[in-house]
Amino acid sequence: MLQVNFIRNNKERVLAGLKKRNAKEDLFQTVESILELDELRKRLKTELDDLNAERNRFSTEIGALMKQGKKEEAEQFRSQVVGLKERSAVIEEDLKSSEGQLTELLYLVPNIPHESVPVGITPEDNEIFRPGPEPELGESALPHWELAAKYKVFDLELGVKLTGAGFPVYRGKGAKLERALINFFLDEASAAGYEEIIPPLMVNEDSARGTGQLPDKEAQMYHVTLDNLYLIPTAEVPVTNIYRDEILDAAALPIKMTAYTPCFRREAGSYGAHVRGLNRVHQFDKIEIVQIVHPDKSYDTLMEMLEHVAGLLNKLGLPFRILRLCGGDMGFTSALTFDFEVWSAAQKRWLEVSSVSNFETFQSNRMKMRFREGRDKDIQLVHTLNGSALALARIVASILENNQTPEGIVIPEVLRKYTGFDLLN
């Protein structure tokens, strides 16, 4: 979340950022309410400090009078101390209430877009940051769900039987292809200096709140109500929270982590070709990369992470493009996001397979994730970044569609040492 002092000192920038995000009118009023509550909080804190100082002064006077044997005078001061104590208790409750209200309002305000974020409202307004080719396969090209049925790659109907719609079951060579992609992406991340993490697949409220899933995205998460835990929508949530409530040494930065997990998302129900097959599912495998960095290095790190994801897609031989998301299409927590999309040759459309984002201090402020640079330096908030490297469901779809031949699906060369076969048939 944004810091109150940042909002106060950069009010016009915050309002301009909300406008770029196409925020609803009530959010602009929320900013005003935050500043008013902060003023109230400051006044109450000052009044409480003054009362406590007066109580301490009276207590000192009482002690001195008691030593002098002046009990009656001391009792008069005691009655005043009781009144001050009662007044302090009322103010403490008011202060606690105002601080709670302030925090709740701060959770409602999204991150402020970086200056390079394009103005726009819908995905059609996103900027094509790096164009990609759109190869043609001919009229006989099959979509991936038909290829999956033909070559027994995955079974969506079996997933419906076992769980429900949107839960694919991978079988045989399809399961090996999925596992090959996981191992390939993890090996590439390890070679790039990322520490591999195997995190829990459920998180508590503090973790979900720390990375911004709560209170913004409750409807998209599966909630284990009995234990009040949430199935993770991405490994970003548990991995970034590893350093929640910690003060790091600047020498430890950057911290680079990667994790493979299944991911669970309660996507809004819709129908048609755009959500068929693996285009939109409720459970999918994904490898995530996360970096915790010095604020001065975060945008260089963002470019480094873009090149890492681009390198994976180039090695797989998949046609892709990169988009810089406009203000109206950005996620709640992001300051700048780039999306990677692969070309679905049979569907003749682009499919998102990765988002790489810089959150600046938005997540670290929620998590109280800080660093110290030297003994005499102030403690500062770190910057956090993450990206999909990569989301597998649509990568599988793209491999099936772009690599189809009359003999079967040609396996990308970099995967063959993992699959043990070069043709899926």
Binding annotation for L-serine = 234, 265, 288, 386
Residues in the chain: 425
Instruction: Locate the DSSP E strands across 328-382.
Output: 336-344, 349-360, 370-372, 379-381
> Which residues line the annotated binding site?
234, 265-267, 281-284, 288, 352-355, 386
Nearest to 396 by CA among 144, 157, 167, 168: 144
Side by side, the strands of the sheet bearing 423-424 are 404-405, 408-410, 423-424
CA distances, 143 to each of 14, 206, 326, 394, 404 (Å): 45, 41, 30, 12, 10
CA separation for the pair 356, 302 (Å, rounded):
7
Nearest to 180 by CA among 354, 309, 316, 319: 316
> Which residues line the annotated binding site for ATP?
265-267, 281-284, 352-355
Percent helix, percent strand, percent coil in the chain, to nearest 5:
50, 20, 30
**Cα separation of the two ends of the chain:** 50
Longest dimension (CA), the chain: 106
CA separation for the pair 261, 244 (Å, rounded):
20
Instruction: With H, G, I as helix, E, B as strand and everything else as coil, classify residue 388.
Output: strand
Sign, Cα dihedral of 207, 211, 212, 213: negative
